[in-house]
A = this chain, B = another copy of it.
């Protein structure tokens, strides 16, 4: 059962001031090791625990950050939950999960704002632009994760965001594929209106055009595994070799894996001998031996670092919103054909480069 000991009881037993007790239980507050030790011992023997909720009514700080997410099917998002939770936990904050299916976002927001949370991280490319504005409107700091504010002046002036350099990433993919001599280059889009897809596609198309090339084929996979498979069938099934794409940039790894499955398991095509495939994100599965997907690395760690920094910044009343862009880079594995001569590394070699045998 819960103990009824008060901070006063603890202070008396530990023979310290009551403020010393509260500082001991306030993450980040300064207190001598000796005092902390005495307080902890006294608290333990009395079964005392500070009530973070009661404290939040006084400090106006609940030390809770709301994390709004769409689907977790794409392995990139579980990584974000893990890294963000760990990082905030080290600072005495915790993540309150809100799953939004993209339609119920308004209802979700009303729920969020019933908690006296210190900030909101919106980590989904699938949320309605409206939600960002409503959050900002509520006076709770909001950081958009992996998406940018909608283009309204209002949103741009009230909402911070962290993204990787999606446009530059798309550009790098186009340059890679062109450098390997690909002539019939396709794009498989995610959610067409999401900022991640818009930026990746723009950088990709711009680079093609600047090289005097053009997009050979385009389909839409909506960031869904199933629909990406269907898009791949529409692009490749029953199309003669000379008329199908010889390379495809897929807007994220999650869809790229579905595309590789369809190409190899259903259509009997080889990757990269028949078709080069490039993804985006570098989720752990992209490195798995059966896929060895060449992709663009979105650094979860630096993105989470920047998000936490922005949250703290925005908790200050006079803070201006900022949009942080994290550089990204291409990691080459085995899903893009090598520069001529097309000497593909054998599976054995490529696998060994991934997981060295134990000494």
Please list the residues of chain A having a beta carbon within 8 angstroms of any beta carbon in chain B: 1-2, 25, 49-54, 56-57, 62, 64, 67, 71-73, 75, 77-79, 81-82, 85-86, 89, 92, 94-99, 108, 110-111, 113-116, 138-139, 225-226, 229-230, 233, 237, 257, 260-262, 264-266, 268, 284-285, 288-291, 347-348, 350-352, 355, 357-358
Instruction: Please state if B285 and A265 are interface contacts (CB–CB under 8 Å).
Output: no
Name the B residues within 8 Å of A355 (CB-CB). Answer: 226, 229, 262, 266
Q: Determine whether the beta carbon of A114 is less than 8 Å from that of B56.
A: no
Tell me which residues across on chain B come within 8 A of A52, comparing CB atoms.
114-116
| Identical subunits present | 2
| In-complex Cβ contact of A351 among B257, B261, B357 (8 A) | B261
Given A2-B139, A261-B351; A285-B285 close (CB under 8 Å): yes
- With the chains together, A293 CA to B358 CA distance in Å? 26
| Least Cβ–Cβ distance between A284 and chain B, in angstroms | 7
Flag if B73 contacts A62 (CB, 8 Å).
no
The distance in angstroms between the C-alpha atoms of A114 and B56, with both chains bound, is: 11
**Bound state CA distance, A265 and B291, in angstroms?**
10
Residue A89 contacts which of B1, B54, B79, B111 (CB distance < 8 angstroms)?
B111
Give chain B residues whose Cβ lies under 8 Å from the Cβ of A94.
96-98, 111, 115
Q: List 10 A-B contacts (CB under 8 A).
A: A53-B115, A54-B116, A81-B97, A94-B98, A261-B288, A264-B289, A265-B290, A265-B350, A266-B348, A266-B355
